[in-house]
């Protein structure tokens, strides 16, 4: 802490980046909870007076720090400020320095059933440059883009990009970050916060499987093609770490039956898990959903 009092380079203890949807009047950032002793906080926001610092005593005797940033602008608004944390009320013993970045994002909402793809269109207005860009997300397993690779962003025009979200895991709401990046300069061209809502699928069959602790297991379930033509089905597991189909696709002749082969990973201890096996059509829309309850015993 004493090094900050010299004329040398500042030592940064934490750099917090907070991304939020544009157009909000304020952002509440919950920070430090320190049980080691009372701290004193000073904020440096370069005279803008947009940061309000509030810290209070928690029931366990620690201190909770809340930073509120006012007047958040629309995307691509970005602001930086510093939080100085001292050990004494006279600001003589510096404990930590935080660099906080507040960045606004465009907002989108999407809803889908577990294991079923849902598309959404993203629109990007090009600036004065012809850019080569690529889209990335914080959930690469669940979110795919079209185009999937690098593409050209036309200047001064509205460009369209398709996002396809296929939720796995558990149902509920969560936030996903999507960035469009210039691959030549590394510049962030556009960014979204996508609020996703996953709903449970309609269950058509239930299975219970007993396995031994510490051993992997191979199982199979039958599936019929009731149609008078060949069908290609896509197989999805909502939790591949627990159970996964051995193949991603299954082709069945007209009015015929096939078996879906499954692999169940070893359980380290007794217990149970519930996983959905989803049988989707060629467009990744759900046709059947099997709920498989796995019970691991010694």
Question: Between 1.20.1280.260, 2.60.40.10, 3.40.50.300, 3.90.550.10, what CATH number should domain 205-296 receive?
Answer: 2.60.40.10
Per-residue pLDDT of the chain (298 residues; tens, 9 = 90+): 333 333 344 444 455 555 566 554 445 555 554 544 567 888 888 777 888 877 777 777 666 777 788 777 888 888 888 888 888 888 888 888 888 888 888 999 999 998 888 999 999 999 888 999 999 999 999 999 999 999 999 999 999 999 999 998 888 999 999 999 999 999 999 999 999 999 988 999 999 999 999 999 999 999 999 999 999 999 999 899 999 999 999 999 999 999 999 999 999 999 999 999 999 998 888 889 999 999 999 8
Distance CA 180, CA 48 (A): 30
Helix and strand numbers (H, E) in the chain are 0, 22
Superfamily of domain 106-199: Immunoglobulins (2.60.40.10)
CATH class name, domain 1-104: mainly beta
Q: Would you say the pTM of this structure is higher than 0.75?
A: no
Rounded-to-10 torsion of CA 143, 147, 149, 155: -120
Contact 55, 92 (CB under 8 A): no
Residue ranges of domains in the chain: 1-104, 106-199, 205-296
Contact 76, 62 (CB under 8 A): no
């Amino acid at each position: 802490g004493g090094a900050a009092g010299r004329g040398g380079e500042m030592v940064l203890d934490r750099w917090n980046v907070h991304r939020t949807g544009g157009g909000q009047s304020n952002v509440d950032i919950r920070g430090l909870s320190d049980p080691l002793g009372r701290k004193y906080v000073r904020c440096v926001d370069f005279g803008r007076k947009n940061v309000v610092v509030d810290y209070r005593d928690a029931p366990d005797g620690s201190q909770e720090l809340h930073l509120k940033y006012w007047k958040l602008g629309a995307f691509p608004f970005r602001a930086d400020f510093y939080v100085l944390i001292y050990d004494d009320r006279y600001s003589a013993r510096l404990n930590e320095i935080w660099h906080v970045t507040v960045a606004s994002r465009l907002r989108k909402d999407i809803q889908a059933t577990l294991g079923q793809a849902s598309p959404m269109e993203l629109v990007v207005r090009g600036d004065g440059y012809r850019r080569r860009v690529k889209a990335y997300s914080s959930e690469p397993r669940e979110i795919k883009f079209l185009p999937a690779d690098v593409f050209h962003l036309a200047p001064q025009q509205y460009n369209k990009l398709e996002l396809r979200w296929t939720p796995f895991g558990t149902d509920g709401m969560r936030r996903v970050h999507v960035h469009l990046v210039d691959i030549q300069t590394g510049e962030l061209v556009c960014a979204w916060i996508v609020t996703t809502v996953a709903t449970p699928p309609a269950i058509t069959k239930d299975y219970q499987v007993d396995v031994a602790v510490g051993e992997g297991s191979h199982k199979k379930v039958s599936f019929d093609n009731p149609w008078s033509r060949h069908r290609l089905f896509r197989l999805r597991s909502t939790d591949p770490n627990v159970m996964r189909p051995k193949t991603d696709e299954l082709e069945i002749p007209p009015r015929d039956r096939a078996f879906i082969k499954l692999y169940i990973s070893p359980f380290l201890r007794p217990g149970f898990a519930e996983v959905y096996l989803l049988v989707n059509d060629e467009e990744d829309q759900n046709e059947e959903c099997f709920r498989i309850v796995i019970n691991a015993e010694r």
